[in-house]
Amino acid sequence: MSRIEELNKILSNLQASSSDVEACAIVSEDGLIIASHLPQGVEEERIAAMSAAMLSMGERISIELKRGDLDQLYVKGEQGYFLSMHAGAHAVLIALVRQNAKLGLIFFDLSKAAEATKAVLS
């Protein structure tokens, strides 16, 4: 199985683990799509670039406010959440999650997916 196939399987498993995960992707820290399960009509390149920028900003804020290394980043909107976390040295796992999701369980599943992604990309 190729690395891309392995990454797509990780994303499929993440979505299968919870019906609250509507979409997910793995993007580079540079803002490029590595693998994705994003809905049609979503501009993958734009989402990847914004995700990388948000993570970079979150890291800077965390350092400036002396909160330690950034672990997770999330944005809450009226229709749900955007969640993000590191998945290795140069990759980011992102997910779009329903509004009423149990975030503790989702972050647990995201952590497992991020570790699996890190293993594939190492």
Which ranges in the chain belong to alpha helices (H)? 3-17, 44-64, 103-121
The CATH code for residues 3-121 is 3.30.450.30
User: How high is the pLDDT of residue 92?
Assistant: 92
Average pLDDT of the residues in 72-89: 92
How confident is the prediction for the chain on average, in pLDDT? Answer: 92
**Residues 6 or more apart from 38 whose CB is under 8 A from it?**
23, 24, 25, 44, 47, 96
Give how far Cα 22 sits from Cα of 6, 35, 40, 45, 91, Å: 20, 15, 12, 18, 20
pTM: 0.90
User: How high is the pLDDT of residue 101?
Assistant: 93
Percent of the chain scored above 90 by pLDDT?
Answer: 74
User: How high is the pLDDT of residue 83?
Assistant: 94
Using pLDDT thresholds of 50, 70 and 90, give the confidence band for residue 9.
very high
Structural domain spans, the chain: 3-121
